[in-house]
Amino acid sequence: MQATPARLVAITAALVLLALPAVVFADPDGTATVRFGRSDIGSPFDPRSGHDQSAHAKDSLFPRTVTIARGGSVTYLRDGFHQVAIYEPDTRPEDIAVTRLDRGLIDDPEDRVARGPRPQEGWTTWTTPSGTFDERGRYLVICTVPGHFTNFDMYGWVNVK
């Protein structure tokens, strides 16, 4: 029997539909990448200038929430002056003691499981150390620059399945 174009389309569609549940319901991958700040978005004006608020994208996480497998890792691409800190599952933003500072950065060790290197200008990359995400749960990730965390809600989540 000769395959007609309509028959090929029907067969292709059926194969895609059969494969789709395997993709949608697959376990999360063991790794993820999060961008800490985006200097390519927003106005060129410093938010402190009072010009506008569009520069806040520079103080956001992209994506804000990721899901990984237990034992996995997250790589943070830092664009600008940011420091990553990760807290145990069930820690909420309001649990962070913003008044505890170390050289101008939030330094709340309670329930903290990992902290990246101190901020520096330009692009830097940091991958969470082995053992950071060994327990299932929802981990809080913050930027330790006080104004980024308190004024611009620069925090996100890592869901570990």
Tell me the CATH number at 42. 2.60.40.420
The pTM is what?
0.74
In a domain, 14, yes or no: no
Q: Is a pLDDT exceeding 80 seen at residue 141?
A: yes
In a domain, 154, yes or no: yes
In a domain, 1, yes or no: no
- For 153, the domain range is 27-160
In a domain, 12, yes or no: no
Q: Which of the two residues, 8 and 59, has the higher pLDDT score?
A: 59
Strongest mean pLDDT among 43-52, 83-92, 115-124: 83-92
Distance CA 118, CA 115 (A): 9
Identify the pLDDT of residue 70.
94
Strongest mean pLDDT among 13-22, 26-35, 123-132, 136-145: 136-145
Share of the chain above pLDDT 90, in %: 47
Q: Which of the two residues, 122 and 141, has the higher pLDDT score?
A: 141
In a domain, 9, yes or no: no
The string of pLDDT tens digits covering residues 69-104 is 999 999 999 877 889 999 999 999 999 999 888 889
In a domain, 78, yes or no: yes
In a domain, 11, yes or no: no
Distances in whole angstroms, Cα of residue 21 to Cα of each of 69, 129, 130, 149? 19, 33, 31, 38
| Mean pLDDT calculated for residue range 116-129 | 84
In a domain, 139, yes or no: yes
Considering its fold, how many domains does the chain have in total? 1
